[in-house]
Every structure is written in C-alpha cells, then in structure tokens.
Structure 1
Amino acid sequence: MPSPIRRHPLAAQVADVLLERLQAGEWPLGHRLPGETTLAAQLGVGRSTLREAIRELSGKGVLDSRQGAGVFVTALDAPGDRETVLRHASIVSVIEARIAIEAEAAGLAAVRRTPADLRAIRRALRERRTDGRTIDSIDNIGTIDAHVDADMAFHRTVVRAAHNDVLTELFDGFVPRVRPAMIDMLRLRPLVSGEADHAVHEALVRAVVDRDPGAAMESSRSHLTALKEAFL
C-alpha cells in the first residue's frame, strides 16, 4: 500500500507516491500511465498538482510525457548522486557496465528463472517484436521511442529473472542514461535489419529457457558488445 500523502509541498508528495507505485510494479517499464483525470482522482489531488509531479519525475528521467500519446514510464528509480556520475559518463562506458551486469544476470536467469519469469520474458519479447518489426526503415520518432522502451523492458525481464535485487537496481540506474542515447543512435543510424536484431534476442531467450547459462551469458555479451561497437 503506497504511503499516505503528508508532507509539503503537495506536488513533491504526489511525485513520491507515484514513484512508490512504479517501484511496486503497478506500471511496468515502457507502459503508459492512466489518463490525467483518472490518475488525479485516484490520488485525490488536482490536475495541476499532478502535472507538476509528473514534470518533477520527468526531469529525473522516470517519466516521459509525449504530446498526444500520454505519459510513459522510462525508469523505475530516481537516482541522486548516481545520476550525476552517469550524466558525465560516456555512453560506451555505460554499455561496458551493462555488459558486466546483464551478462551475469543472463547466466543467473538461465539457472533461476521460474515459470512466471518465462511468461514475462516471452511476453516482453513479443512486445519488442511488435515495436521493432519495421524499426530498420522507420523515420517516425514516436515509433523509435516505443521500440527503445520495449527493448529496455525486455532486457529488464531477463535481469529480474536472475532474482538479484542489486543487479536489478543497477540496471534501472542505467536506463535514464542509455535510453536517450539509443533513441539518438537509431534516428541517425537505423538498424541494418530489425529481424536480425530480434533474432539475437530470441537466442538469448532460448538459452534462458534451455537453462544454458553459458549460452545466455555469451548471447547477452555479444549483443551488447555489438551495440558498443556501433557507438564507436
């Protein structure tokens, strides 16, 4: 149950409650929040207060307000000092850290995954395919954003399947830094083949399903290494 709203200013309290609900899993990474009227009524605040709270979380990289589309979840953490470090780190450095985190998480996921984890991973893979099918030729900015969000959501399900809260927290901390860089890269340099890119992710899922930690780690590492080289 989210904490009651008590402190002032009110918008900051609303932002805290929204963040609590995000971290509790009410709105997964990449998903859209309920409409402004509905959400304001749920929280018992005015729409102007809700907008201010959303602006605060958007400024921290947690939410993304897209004109005509709604408000989307882009991270599940609001980093403090870590945000400063990541802002000054090169995207290549961040990807290298992702390799260390995600390759290990993939190996653990292949050993520890549960039936519920597999359902979540397969669902995220399907959603990624829907958003990535034409990403190699698309010039629609909203579609690129959706693809990146679907991709990050997929990778998070694999990390979560490792059942290591520290790895999940570290991954969530990288999302605000990686997401805009990925979007910029795809705008300038679309994928050569969306199908080939998706096949790499399917291979990772097969390794997790087959309980093959070595193959899962190698699949994750090779994919992210190719991503790093694309930035170089």
Structure 2
Amino acid sequence: MAKPRTLRKTSRSDEVAQLLMDAIAAGEFEAGGRLPSENALAEEYGVSRSTLREAFKKLEQMGAIYTMHGSGSYVRARSEAAPGEEPRLERAGRVVSETFSLDRFSVTEYLDARLAIERTAISLAIDRMDDADFLTLKRILDQSEQEGCSVEEYIELDCKFHRELVRASKNEFLCLFWSHLEPCLREQQRRVVVIPGLVEGSKNKHHQLYDALLQRNKKEALAAYEAHTSTILGRFFTLASESYSSEGQKQE
C-alpha cells in the first residue's frame, strides 16, 4: 500500500490540486489519459473522496482536466486547441507556473519556509515576549484599523506585524531567515490583495493571534496562525483560475 503523501496544514483540496498539477506537468499522468480512480488517488494523498473532488473542480476550472460522467476524469490533451490557440493544458501549466511563483521561488517553497519560521517563532515568543513586544504589535494593529489606511500602507503594516512577531522570539537566526523571506510575503500580499474581503479577514486573524499571545496560550496562538495561513494557497488558485479564464476569453 502506498504511503499517503504529506500535506501542509492548509486547505487540503488546494494542496491536492497543486500536487496533481505538479504531477501532470511532470508527465506522471499522460496527456489525454484517464486519471487513476478517486479511491486510488484519495488513498495516495491521504484525503477523503470529497476533498479530492474539490481538487478536481479547481483543475477543471483551469482547464487542466475534464470529467466524463460514468467514465472518470481525464488529463486535457495538448492537441485540444483551435488553430492559433495555445493548447489548454499548456496554457494551464503556464498560468500555474507564472502564478505560483514569488521572486525566484515557488509558492509552496515559500509556504514551507514561512510556516517553519513563524510556527517556531510563535512557540518561542509565547514565553519570551515582554511588554514592549506586546505594545509594538498593538500599535501595528491600531494603525491598520485607522480610517484612510491605504492598501499599500496595510501591506507594509502586515509585513511589519509578522516581522515583529518573529523578533519577539528573541532568536537572531529566525530573524535573519525572516529578512530573506519577507520580500516574498510583500509580493504575495500585492498579488492577492485584490481578492474581496482579504484585508478585513487578515485584520481579524491578526487580532485573534495577538489576543492568544497576550494570554500566552500557545495552543490558541498556533491555531490562530494556522487559520490565518490556511487559505494562502487557495488565494493563488483563485488568481490562477481568473487568469486562465481571462486569457481564454481573449483567445475566443
């Protein structure tokens, strides 16, 4: 029995969709061929069939696969394109490649590094934060709530909040690692901030995380952080789907 693949603690359907897209791009699933059964893929990725179906829907929206009722799901063949039109599978792969990149890194590489740094920082900060650290974070939260705070100003405040959170760990190595990662966070925010409700949702999650830190409740703080970052991959799928659809409309 194959060992289930390890998924990050983010939206499981987003993670499975990304892994499937990577597998298609790598040629693990033949273009024009049928994908393995839902049961087989659900077991391989260690998820439920409903989660797998959600992942399939994301890939269908991007034109990477299609489903035939009673037959199964198939990888879109590269030859399925009108004269002068970029094949759908190639277009989907290109859109994913362009969308799921930050600086010279993939979004998944960025998330792996970010989660490792901030989870560790939160665990350490719970015991090491002092009044000055709490005051700094509170000031950032208050500034983000001020009327007239622009999107660009909020992006900088968001980066500052996470930077100060890592600094509160009192670990110089983590701070050094974060300094190299922060440009990716800034680019991530600029890319996804167009999604409706994102800024307000981010503010709420920051407040929840701050409250848990203030209570020095490690379990609640980590849970709030997981909730804050769990939708990041899904936001990039939203961008990829919109980009794919927009390009398709231009070609028609």
Query: TM-score scaled by structure 2?
Result: 0.49
Provide the aligned length of Structure 1 versus Structure 2: 137
Residues 109 and 213, structure 1, Cα contact 8 Å, conserved in 2: no
Question: Quick one: which of 225, 228, 239 aligns to 1:220?
Answer: 225
Partner residue in 1 for 2:183? 176
Question: Quick one: which of 71, 95, 98 aligns to 2:111?
Answer: 95
Root-mean-square deviation (Å) = 2.3
Partner residue in 2 for 1:121? 137
Moved more, 155-164 or 215-224: 215-224
Amino acid at match of 1:128: S
Amino acid at match of 2:179: D
- Cα deviation for residue 103 of structure 1 reads 1.7
Partner residue in 1 for 2:197? 191
Partner residue in 2 for 1:208? 213
Matches within 5 A, 1:1-232: 87-130=103-146, 143-187=150-194, 189-192=195-198, 194-232=199-237
% identity of equivalent residues: 26
Amino acid at match of 1:165: E
Which structure has the greater CA radius of gyration? 2
Residues 205 and 227, structure 2, Cα contact 8 Å, conserved in 1: no
Spell out, residue by residue over 1:126-176, the C-alpha distance to the aligned partner (whole angstroms, 9 max, x if none). 12223xx688xxxxxxx3221111101011111111111111111111111
Give 5+ residue unaligned stretches, structure 2.
1-101, 238-252
Seen in structure 2, the aligned counterparts of structure 1 residues 106 and 128 have a Cα distance that, compared at 3 Å, is farther
Partner residue in 2 for 1:7? none
Residues 111 and 212, structure 1, Cα contact 8 Å, conserved in 2: no
Seen in structure 2, the aligned counterparts of structure 1 residues 94 and 165 have a Cα distance that, compared at 3 Å, is same
Residues 101 and 171, structure 1, Cα contact 8 Å, conserved in 2: yes
Partner residue in 1 for 2:29? none
C-alpha separation between the residues in 2 aligned to 1:124 and 1:98? 20
Query: TM-score scaled by structure 1?
Result: 0.53
Give the number of the structure with larger relative contact order, counting CA–CA contacts within 8 Å between residues 6 or more apart.
Answer: 1
C-alpha separation between the residues in 2 aligned to 1:168 and 1:98? 12
Residues 159 and 185, structure 2, Cα contact 8 Å, conserved in 1: no
Give 5+ residue unaligned stretches, structure 1.
1-85, 136-142
